[in-house]
A and B are shown apart, each in its own frame.
Chain A
Amino acid sequence: MSRYLIHRFGQSLVLLILVSLVGFMVLNLAPGGPLSQFALTPGMSQADLERIAAQMGLDRPLPIQYLDWFWRLFVGDWGNSFRDGVPVLEVIGRHLFATLLLMISSTIISVGIGTVVGVMGATRRYSLFDYTATVLAMVALSIPTFWFGLVAIYTFALDLGWLPAGNMYTIGDQSFADYATHLIMPSLVLALVNVAIWSRYMRSAMLDVIDQDFIRTARAKGLPRWRVLYLHVMRNALLPMITLAGLQLPTLLGGALVTETVFTWPGMGRLFLDSLGYQDYPVVMGLLMFSAMLVLVGNLLADILVALADPRVRLE
């Protein structure tokens, strides 16, 4: 177990270095590199630019620049926002809660619905329900999240007036119920794609397990159908789903960005777009790296969870 974990940590570390390399590449790929945002400022002369470049250490060779950048990434010195001079990590920290709230509530919804739909599809394979669920899942995967958000706003906020059209709370209210009503639409919209993904994978994971010998054994023991399904099949089918949840994190984060934009939700995605608009470069890079690291940690956590839940991993 501990050897497996050390191995897995090592892998994540290697991946982190590679992720930082990709980030550094993006930073320098832009025409003009990290300086590009200054070049756009009116009244900036070539001499000014060179002075700033020297200040930022951009006249050093690339490998040195990278090592410096990686070191600062590592110790948490991610620079300051151009907009208000606040350290990048602090800016991100302020928006983290809103994004996590949205992602977690939408994950609960999509895992709940997706599991039920997937299990029903697997147990009634090739039925009308299964067929319909398959088709609807593919359509759900094809609907642009932001457009679905717009249609939802039009229907439930503008037309019916049941739910607020955006924001996280009403200024001056901020009760639990207020947060909850603001949360409903964005988390459902964000859940759409994930319900589709989760139900498809749940279905195929269930089918993989249902055909296994030990399920035949469980039935031969005379266990009730529900016990075979929920104890024997589900327990095994859920193991790969933990890994899947980790792998779906980038999609979830990307979806959150778009959803936050449509619903003016004050999270990291909204911050990312605002910062892009203001050319607040350190925050953009910070968010890019932060999201990748979040994914990295999420995948690591998923693997640890699988190791805890699956007795077979412990020996490896």
Chain B
Amino acid sequence: MTIASDGQSVGTAWWRGRALRRFARHRLAVTGTLLIVLLTLACVFGPLLLPYDELHIDLRARFSPPLTGDHYLGTDPLGRDLAARLLMAGRVSLLVGFAAMLLSTLIGVVIGIIAGYRGGWLGNALMRFTDAFLCFPQIFLLLALAAFIKPDPLMITIIIAATSWMEIARIVSAEIRSLRERDFVLAARMAGASHRWIMFRELLPNAIGAIIVAATLTVARAILIEAYISFLGYGIQPPLPSWGNMLNNAQQYLASAPWLAIIPGIAITLAVTSFNFIGDGLRDALDARSDLK
């Protein structure tokens, strides 16, 4: 722990500055950040600049390979512009991934902090419950849930979050448990602080590094998992494009129009890799344990 045990505010600014420097030295993380910024900008503003919108059907231009006329990435079986669809899909996929991360982090932090701070019967039950969730392969659980819900982006986000909060819960509870008996908590308790105050104001800030790292990796996983269920036909539904459902029909045209499969896959890989790189850089920068290695 870089944070002094006698009070968590000691040298916070210094600590942040050092973390930032370490992050900036991590070449992969910086590359990842740049790629995500570029990808986000492209998805937000790109569709405005392209000559076609993602729903424009042009049956004469079906199956155009990339770089045909104005269709920079080619067209799909309905003659829709792949570049426009890719960027619009990016909006959906990135948004779902990000929102699912926020929601699952919230669930994970609340469960983890209660389990870690309260301990005892309730804490144990919560952690065993978390373990039980971890026994289910996430895709099985997601698909079983997805079959019953209205597959709009909001519901998809909710079920992704509902099946990916466990890791953060475990990290937070472990972190809190190790901090619970430290001096500053005892001091706060003796000063008459309420449990809620201690949980959220004294303990949580110490776990924040680990949470940020886990949350970043959760974005990567959420994007990936959304692609999986959309590819399998239970995620985001057409005509709304997502990177996953763009690949949905690609398999049948694999021989004749391979770009339909290849291009969205590259977009997914690029986004997920970037978030994984960022997560790795954050781990090096924020995780005090990496000091020892």
A and B touch in the complex (CB under 8 A): yes
State the A residues within 8 Å of B (CB). 14-15, 18-19, 21-22, 26, 29-32, 36, 135, 138-139, 141-148, 150-151, 153-154, 158, 207, 250-251, 253-254, 257-258, 261-262, 272-273, 276, 279, 284-285, 287-288, 291-293, 295-296, 299
Q: Is B228 an interface residue (CB 8 A)?
A: yes
Write out the residue numbers on chain B whose beta carbons fall within 8 Å of the beta carbon of A276.
143-144, 147, 234
Partner of B137 from the list A26, A31, A135, A254 (CB cut-off 8 Å) is A254
B133 interface contact, C-beta 8 A? yes
Q: How far is the CB of A126 from chain B (nearest CB, A)?
A: 11
- B262 and A151: CB pair below 8 A? yes
Which residues on B sit within 8 Å (CB–CB) of A279?
147
* Cross-chain contact A151 with B265 (CB below 8 angstroms): yes
Task: Check if A22 sits within 8 Å of B132, measured CB to CB.
Answer: yes
- Cβ contact within 8 Å between B140 and A147: no
Best-surrounded residue of B137, B268, B272 (most CB of chain A within 10 A): B137
User: In the complex the two chains form, is A146's CB within 8 Å of B132's CB?
Assistant: no
Q: Are B232 and A138 in contact (CB under 8 A)?
A: no
Query: Which residues on the A side are within 8 Å of B128 (C-beta)?
Result: 14-15, 18
8 A-B pairs in the complex with CB atoms less than 8 angstroms apart: A30-B149, A139-B269, A142-B275, A144-B231, A146-B228, A147-B265, A153-B251, A262-B251
Among B37-45, B84-92, B253-261, the stretch in contact with A = B253-261
What residues on B are CB-neighbors of A288 within 8 Å? 136, 140-141, 144
Task: Return chain A residues, CB-CB under 8 Å to B275.
Answer: 142
Interface extent on B, as a size class? 35 or more
| Residues A19 and B135 in contact, CB atoms below 8 Å apart | yes
Cβ of A209 to closest chain B Cβ, rounded Å: 14
Chain B residues whose C-beta falls within 8 Å of the C-beta of A262 in the assembled complex: 251
Contact check, A254 vs B265: say whether CB atoms are below 8 A apart: no
- B280 on the interface (CB 8 Å rule)? yes
User: Which A residues lie within 8 Å of B247 (CB)?
Assistant: 144, 146-147, 150
Contact A21-B228, Cβ < 8 Å, known A262-B251, A284-B147:
no
Tell me the residues in window 209-248 of chain B with beta carbons closer than 8 Å to chain A beta carbons: 220, 224, 227-228, 231-232, 234, 244, 247
- A211 CB to nearest chain B CB (Å): 9
Which of A30, A143, A147 has most B Cβ within 10 Å?
A147
Question: Given A139-B273, A144-B227: A150 and B147 within 8 A (CB)?
Answer: no
Q: With A153-B254, A276-B143 in contact, do A295 and B148 touch (Cβ < 8 Å)? A: no
* Given A276-B234, A284-B147: A154 and B258 interface contact (C-beta under 8 Å): yes
- Is B58 in the interface zone, CB < 8 Å from A? no
Expressed in whole angstroms, the Cα–Cα distance for A59 and B246 within the complex equals: 43
CA distance A38 to B218 in the complex (A): 36
Contact between chains at A257 and B265 (CB < 8 Å) = no
A30 contacts across to B, CB distance below 8 A: 145, 147-149
Q: Are B131 and A250 in contact (CB under 8 A)?
A: no
Say whether B57 faces chain A, with CB atoms less than 8 Å apart: no
Residues of chain B within 8 A (CB-CB) of A291 are 136-137, 140
The CA of A143 and the CA of B274, in the complex, are separated in Å by 11
B232 x A150 contact (CB < 8 A) = no
B129 within 8 A of A: yes
B272 / chain A contacts, CB cutoff of 8 Å: 141-144
Q: Mark B116-141, 1 if CB is under 8 A from A, else 0.
A: 00000000000011011111111111
State in angstroms the CA–CA spacing of A311 and B255 once bound together. Answer: 56
* Shortest Cβ distance from A20 into B: residue: B132
Q: Are B136 and A295 in contact (CB under 8 A)?
A: yes
Q: How far is the CB of A61 from chain B (nearest CB, A)?
A: 22
Set of chain B residues within 8 Å of A292, measured between Cβ atoms: 132, 135-137
Is the Cβ of A15 less than 8 Å from the Cβ of B131?
yes
A157 to B241, CA, bound (A): 28
A18-B138 contact in complex given A151-B265, A154-B258, A288-B144, C-beta closer than 8 Å? no
> Beyond A18-B131, A141-B276, A150-B254, is A257–B269 a contact (Cβ under 8 Å)?
no
Q: How far is the CB of B144 from chain A (nearest CB, A)?
A: 5
B28 located at the interface, meaning its Cβ lies under 8 Å from any Cβ of chain A in the complex:
yes
Contact at A26–B143, with CB atoms within 8 Å? no
A146 and B231 contacting across the interface, CB-CB below 8 Å? yes
Asked if B165 CB lies within 8 Å of chain A CBs, one says no
- Which residues of chain B have C-beta atoms less than 8 A from A253's C-beta? 137, 140
Name the distance in Å between B202's Cβ and chain A's nearest Cβ: 31
Contacts of B262 in A (CB 8 A): 151, 154
> In the assembled complex, which residues on chain A have CB atoms less than 8 Å from the CB atom of B109?
none
Q: Which residues of B contact A154 (CB under 8 A)?
A: 254-255, 258, 261-262
Bound-state CA distance A141–B277 (Å) is 11
Cα(A143)–Cα(B264), bound, Å = 11
Contacts of A158 in B (CB 8 A): 254-255
Task: Tell me, yes or no, whether B172 is within 8 Å of chain A by CB.
Answer: no
